[in-house]
Amino acid sequence: MLQLIKKLKNLYKYRVLIQTLVSRELKARYRGTVLGFLWSFMNPMLLLIIYTLVFGFIIRPRIEEFGSSPWLYALFLFCGVLPWQVWFVASSLESANVLMTQGNLIKKMLFPTEILPIVVVTSNFIHFLLGLPILLISVPILGKTYTPYLLFLPLVMLVQYVFTLGFCFLISALTVHFRDIKDILANLLTFWFFLSPIIYPVTFENIQKHAFLRLFMDLNPITHIMWNYQNCVFYGEMIRWKRLGVTFLASLVLFFVGYYIFDKLRDSFPEEV
Amino acid sequence: MAAIEIENLTRMYQKYSARHRFKTFKSAMIKGDFFKSLKPDEKVTALDNVSFKVEKGTTFGVIGENGSGKSTLLKVVTGIAKPTSGRVVVNGKVSALIELGAGFHPEITGRENIYINGIMLGLSKKEINDKYEGIVKFAELENFIDAPVKTYSSGMYMRLGFSIAINVNPDVLLVDEVLAVGDASFVPKCLDRIQDFSRRKKTILFVSHDLGTVEKICDQVAWLKKGRIQTIGEPRRVIDAYLQDVAEKQEEDFEMGKVKAGKEKKCEEERRENRWGKREIEIKKVKIMGLDGNEKHVFSPQDGIVIEMDIEASASIKDFVFGIGIFNSQRVFCYGTNTLLEDFQPVSIQGKGKAVFRIDCLNFVNGIYYLDVAVHKRDGYPYDYHRNLYSFLITSKHKDDGIYRPKHSWEFSPEIKIKFSKGV
């Protein structure tokens, strides 16, 4: 454990490298496109439009909270979909590949490999941040008001950051040895999406009815992260401190477990990727 | 103080079979012995108990065949690969020219890549700013530096990579066969830069197949063979030993090839194409030997050669001529002679006998040579003609061209400044 922390501290020396790689990632992503950086805003916008169309107008919410307003429901959806899709899913899928696509770096250059998943998570975090204004702008447009609880958003982001990073350490290290994970992952993430309170609220009666489903919900860290996003932006309520705190601890555990496994497998990367 | 110290270094590589991997995935899921099941089922030893020291300020060369562990050695010294056992100590900042431009991102410009690559190699932003002009100039990329790297030619790519890596200004420079892509003007420039390094008393570990360069710039050379150090010491001596070994291996391959070919060619039909005549006098066997009488097939240009033919005549024959022809791989007739041309008058032949043809000094350039041997009548009627059925190989350290290599020398008047670098 101490050794791990020492290694993490050592990473601080590489902050400039992480910074440069993240900016390389951001620069390279939209290089060659006509809209360039605008895509960082366009993508979440399109996402919002699609979800509003499908879930708001075609499927129509039957959840009491939103009345029959598709607009309110769209805003609610967007609170969860943005951090989930733009940040968590994008990071997970990318980090399943990152050690292979950047294999050249691992094999030919000397630098701490854990930088690669860190760069993936961080650059997707920045994409998420760029999409955040779209979410915030749409709050009054779609019929809600700003509340001071918005100020707690960074806290929720921190928890998600730690959780995502831990998950990505795990995924990226394991995929090197078991390439099958790449294929499982996309399906797993879809399943996870529907099991988390993103397209329905935690209080959704069908879930609250079943003790088993409720327990399952509570054990899912994403539940609490998403719920708290919704609290800050949609409901305008106080963060559920206990839930967020426990989730943070769980995220820390995942982070260290992920980092530990990554560290254990590190020496096998140059020959396996 | 030594710049690089390597003690009993062993590096194994692990081989996992696809089947095995699947099994481990399952067993990892079921038994939970995750780390244990990641143990490989087979190991390949890339470096076997290697020890040496490179003194500060010297240039140390590593030579050896493909797969002898040279690159692994460099990777272990850089720290990319960890030693399986043994100790590696490197004193000072290391920069490795293992693969040039390894960290380049194709979509972004050369300028941005210089910064990113520089930072990866351990420079700070300020240092790169200071060196930026020099890097671009050395790479000769002033006009293309703002174009995405994916539009670069492989030469431009390599020049930029080299230019960045050399500008890191390390204490220990590791060079791995990276100059192979450069053109005729860039390679000397790089070598110059590398030599400049050694003049400034920096340490260089140089891996190359270019024995000429190795001998020119290295103070010490180690020869790796199958992961073990075969010899270590003064360049000339090690390179000679290495070349000797390569020649022996070629000899072996040659023999193997012949044995194989002999087995396959058993069918007379194929042979008939290259052998004709009614065999009133038959060439039973042809042996190619060195002057010492030992059979061999790989020669150096100054070696002599002995071609021995076992002859058998079924009846007494009074009209016969022995002939020899030598062809190179392009089937150019290099030399031919026969006993008639050289004023031998046949008297008679019956039963078994031997005819021996001897060249004291071959004087041919590098390459494979094919042999015609024949016995025929004075008017050309063949008794037994073997066309290109035998071959031998000439290898030389010099890469001179043509067919014939006459004994020669150079002389210069004192105004001409020219140096003999013992060339390899």
The reply to whether residue B80 touches residue A21, judged by beta carbons under 8 angstroms, is: no
* A101 and chain B in contact, CB less than 8 A: no
CA distance A129 to A87: 9
Sequence-separated (6 or more) residues with CB below 8 Å from residue A185: A92, A93, A96, A171
Please check whether residue B68 is in contact with residue B227, taking contact to mean a CB–CB distance below 8 angstroms: yes
Question: A160: closest CA among A237, A90, A76, A75?
Answer: A90
* A37 and chain B in contact, CB less than 8 A: no
pLDDT in tens, A178-225: 888 888 999 999 999 999 999 888 888 778 888 888 888 889 999 999
| CATH value of B279-394 in 2.70.50.60, 3.40.605.10, 1.20.1250.20, 3.10.20.10 | 2.70.50.60
- Within 13 A of A174's CA, how many CA atoms are on the CB side? 24
Amino acid (one-letter) located at A27: K
- Within 13 A of B228's CA, how many CA atoms are on the CB side? 1
CA distance B206 to B222: 10
Specify the domain boundaries for CATH 3.40.50.300 within chain B: 2-93+170-245
Specify the domain boundaries for CATH 2.70.50.60 within chain B: 279-394
User: Rounded to the nearest 10 degrees, what angle do helices B125-139 and B154-166 cross at?
Assistant: 140
Query: What is the reported pTM?
Result: 0.71
The highest-level CATH class for domain B2-93+170-245 is: alpha beta
Strands B275-276 and B298-299: unpaired
In this predicted complex, what is the ipTM?
A: 0.75
The reply to whether residue B14 touches residue A21, judged by beta carbons under 8 angstroms, is: no
CA distance B223 to B246: 12
CA distance A134 to A142: 12
The reply to whether residue A28 touches residue B78, judged by beta carbons under 8 angstroms, is: no
Question: B71: closest CA among B204, B208, B170?
Answer: B208
- Closest-CA distance of chain A to residue B99, Å: 6
The pair phi, psi for residue B323, each rounded to 5°, is -130, 155
Contacts of A27 in chain B (CB under 8 A): 107-108, 112
**pLDDT tens sequence for chain B (424 residues):** 788 999 899 988 876 554 445 455 555 555 555 555 455 566 788 888 899 999 888 899 998 888 888 888 888 888 888 888 899 998 888 887 777 777 788 888 889 889 888 888 878 888 899 999 999 998 888 899 999 888 988 888 888 888 888 888 788 888 887 666 667 778 888 888 888 888 888 898 988 887 778 888 888 999 998 888 988 998 888 888 888 788 778 777 777 766 666 555 554 444 556 788 888 898 888 888 888 888 888 888 888 999 999 999 988 888 999 999 998 877 788 899 999 999 999 999 988 999 999 999 989 988 888 889 999 998 888 899 888 888 888 887 777 888 888 888 898 898 898 887 654 4
The reply to whether residue B25 touches residue A180, judged by beta carbons under 8 angstroms, is: yes
Q: Is B146 left (phi over 0), alpha (psi -120 to 50) or beta?
A: alpha
* A10 and chain B in contact, CB less than 8 A: no
Please check whether residue A84 is in contact with residue A128, taking contact to mean a CB–CB distance below 8 angstroms: no
Contacts of A175 in chain B (CB under 8 A): none
* Neighbour-count burial for B367-380, b at 16+ CB within 10 Å, e otherwise: eebbbbbbbbbeee
How is residue B140 annotated by DSSP? T
The reply to whether residue A24 touches residue B38, judged by beta carbons under 8 angstroms, is: no
Amino acid (one-letter) located at B394: I
SS3 state of residue B230:
strand
Where along chain A do its domains lie? 15-272
pLDDT in tens, A130-152: 999 989 998 998 888 899 999 99
CA distance B390 to B404: 20
Question: B161: closest CA among B117, B209, B194?
Answer: B117
- Closest-CA distance of chain A to residue B34, Å: 10
